[in-house]
Amino acid sequence: MASIIPSVSFRLREESIYLHVRYKGERYCRLATRLTIKPENWNSKKHYPKTAWGGYSQARKDLDRVADLVQDYFAACRNRNHDPSKEEAATELRKLIDGESNSELTFFGALDEFLAFKGAATRANTHRSYNSLKTILAKFEDVMKYDLTFDRISREFEGKLQQFFSQSANSRFKEGPGLATKTRAKRVGQLKVFMSWALEMGYHQNETFRKFDSSRKDDRIDDIVVLTEGELGALRDHDLKNNRKLEKVRDIFLFMVYTAQRWSDVEVFDPRDIKDGVWAFVAGKTNKPTRVPLAGWCAGALTILSKYGGDLPRPKNKNFISQQKFNLYIKEVCYEVGITQPEKIHRLKGRTVITIEGPKNTFITSHCARRTAITILATWGIPLTVLQQLTGHSDVETLMRYVRTPPDALEKWLTANAGGPQAKPEPRNRWDSPQTIAQAHFASGEVRPGEPPAEDFAET
């Protein structure tokens, strides 16, 4: 005798999950569930998501909900002594599945919609960062055995999330697992942005997330690694003609130092944006208009561009080097130059101060160029409000986080100003005119664009 209890299974077609129902020994209907999954995350033998997949827990709940709808529908039919036809069952189940999917968007379903929105409205790097938030939350759900719904984003959830962060692997810390305070704050901040968006969309009414702590105060303690003026000069003058790859990486780094701009803007540099001696563009991170007058210190960028026919060095396929490869090669460049003295930085991991030590070249990345420029210019005495115009920082407090004042800066300043204002020497013009820069060509080996007088170009 054929079973009157329907058999439910699922099949994957491309990336769409289909519901298959057998009833009384017959194939009764096949319906799209509106659920999707990547083929690599689907177990084709068991016809179910792979248990090792980060989104398994949520997918299992979604599929169980569909299976329950099928069982509830046929149970209701039995209670009425009604035997639905295949067509009727397919129609009614379609209504139930669509009604269920529309009545309440799941947490991860809303997150997918949010990520699609972010993908259209933000730069690729930002979108990738938010995509990683989904991976983190899916892993949190599996590790902490805490099913995520909008209603469960509570103070209890916040505590468990911090506990999860404390257990997460971090290859930079030899002292054991645990994410840095800055990384934790970044992820919590991203979660709050998503929850705020979902609230505005009407997907939930839970505002507890607003109380979550996403501040980054005290997340760095002397954590800035920059090149000194002496190291920058050695980097600039080092002969790398026998290794064109490293020479190009060095020159891109110098361009970023001379312009004090972010990698995200340099990698999309367009020579046509330079007009009348000014590089004008819209910063990708802030979406604000930015102007870089290519004079004085910044004129060094023109020397780099002239070396490559008015553009930054690019391979034959015209694609700019990836940031990952750049960060790998610039460490090699600094090693070749001899920038290898011991360096240490400190990070907060929870409430514990973690010290990371190693040769200085291992800490150098693309962002060190911007930090180096800001540190040198601030040390030379350019007003911070003027420097802000170059860097695009919204406030001086944020700008100052990029400055690593040399240890002997105070002694030097006090010595130079020992006689008071009357004894103070005439200020030197650090911002030479383009004509002066042209006369002191970069290749001459005497005066570099934006370089202070020889006696001042000392390692500090």
Most confident of the ranges 219-228, 270-279, 447-456: 270-279
More confident residue, 284 or 126: 284
Mean pLDDT on 76-90 = 87
More confident residue, 323 or 101: 323
pLDDT at 130 over 70: yes
Contacts of 431 (CB under 8 A, 6+ apart): 295, 296, 297, 450
pLDDT of the residue at 412: 66
pLDDT at 235 over 90: yes
Q: Is the pTM of this model over 0.95?
A: no
pLDDT of the residue at 156: 92
3-state class percentages of the chain: helix first, strand second, coil last, to nearest 5: 50, 15, 35
Domain 229-456: give its CATH architecture: Orthogonal Bundle (1.10)
pLDDT of the residue at 456: 35
Every domain of the chain and the residues it spans: 7-103, 107-217, 229-456
Integer Cα distance of 44 and 27 in angstroms: 20
pLDDT at 120 over 80: no
What is the tens place of the pLDDT at every residue in 404-441?
666 666 676 667 666 554 444 444 444 343 333 333 33
CATH 3.20.20 is held by the domain 107-217: no
Integer Cα distance of 86 and 84 in angstroms: 7
Local confidence band at 121 (pLDDT 50, 70, 90 cut-offs): low
What is the tens place of the pLDDT at every residue in 434-460?
333 333 333 333 334 444 433 332 333
Local confidence band at 38 (pLDDT 50, 70, 90 cut-offs): confident
pLDDT at 133 over 50: yes
What is the tens place of the pLDDT at every residue in 332-347?
999 999 999 998 877 6
- Length of the chain, please? 460
3-class DSSP string for 331-371 = HHHHHHHCCCCEEEEEEEECCEEEEEEEEHHHHCCCHHHHH
Local confidence band at 216 (pLDDT 50, 70, 90 cut-offs): low
